[in-house]
Amino acid sequence: MTVITRHETMRGAIPRRPDGEGSVQVALDPALQIEGAKVFAVYGKGGIGKSTTSSNLSAAFSHLGKRVLQIGCDPKHDSTFTLTKKLIPTVIDILETVNFHSEELRPEDFIFEGYNGVMCVEAGGPPAGTGCGGYVVGQTVKLLKEHHLLEETDVVIFDVLGDVVCGGFAAPLQHAERAVIVAANDFDSIFAMNRIVQAIAAKSKNYDVRLGGVIVNRSAGTDQIDKFNAATGLKSLAHFPDLDVIRRSRLKKSTLFEMEESPALLAVQESYMRLAESLWAGTEALPTVPMRDRDIFDLLGFD
């Protein structure tokens, strides 16, 4: 199958190769290209804290004075839970109420203001076994473009479901400038991270996305991730330990910037501010080379 990239579609050039061997990817409609904002896609193993990381990063960007939009791309639709203090309706659910006639929707039907002015959208997902997450992401961006909601946005953060095993949930990589991976200092997280590195490498053939680095989360140490980084060319952007205050912030429906101050909390807040500053300034594109599955086992000491 041949895939036409957004650049080639606009130029009318000959189609290039697909994203990867056996790829059945659909090219990005150039009309859905996000322009003007810095766009980040956050990936990582399921349950590793991507939503907590994304929401606190959005909050940090807002404290830098940036206009932030966070888009949750998980059917669980809890990405923006700590920003809005509730589970907001998903784009797919709202579209269904108007029989998918998007022209009948108003911005306030699907976009909600959260902590410190962060704008929040939950794309949602199709019922299990019935559709593709890529369609959902596309419809969400289409709605935002139709209502001119991206024109006054400085930062867009896609918080994406789990590790990448399907083209649908790799769709945010078509929009992003940088992809960042959230991982713990353990084998399962690193194995998933390697799969994500493979997906980003495939998408970077035809799109602008490049790997920005790894955010080490819920980990006292970084030795295993340091080994993987050294072997692949990846770099760590930030390190957040497994602190009770982070766990409690989720239970209290709060970002870390709203919790009662303590030395540990202030240190974490400062780390998020440094991370936001470095991403805004622009991280280098990492030419990371993914590992073979067997090599990861060997690297991390398994027989």
Catalytic residues, by residue number, are 45, 50, 76, 163
CA distance 242 to 247: 8
Q: Do strands 38-44 and 178-183 pair parallel, antiparallel, or not at all (unpaired)?
A: parallel
Q: What residues have CB less than 8 Å from 294, skipping those under 6 apart?
A: none
Q: Does residue 119 contact residue 113 with C-beta atoms inside 8 Å?
A: yes
How far is Cα 288 from Cα 236, in angstroms, rounded to an integer?
A: 12
Q: How many CA atoms lie within 13 A of 87 on its CB side?
A: 8
Cα–Cα distance, 85 to 67 (Å, whole number): 19
Measured CA to CA, the distance from residue 48 to residue 184 in angstroms comes to: 7
Helix 263-281 to helix 50-63 angle (10° resolution) is 80
Two tokens at 51?
């939503």
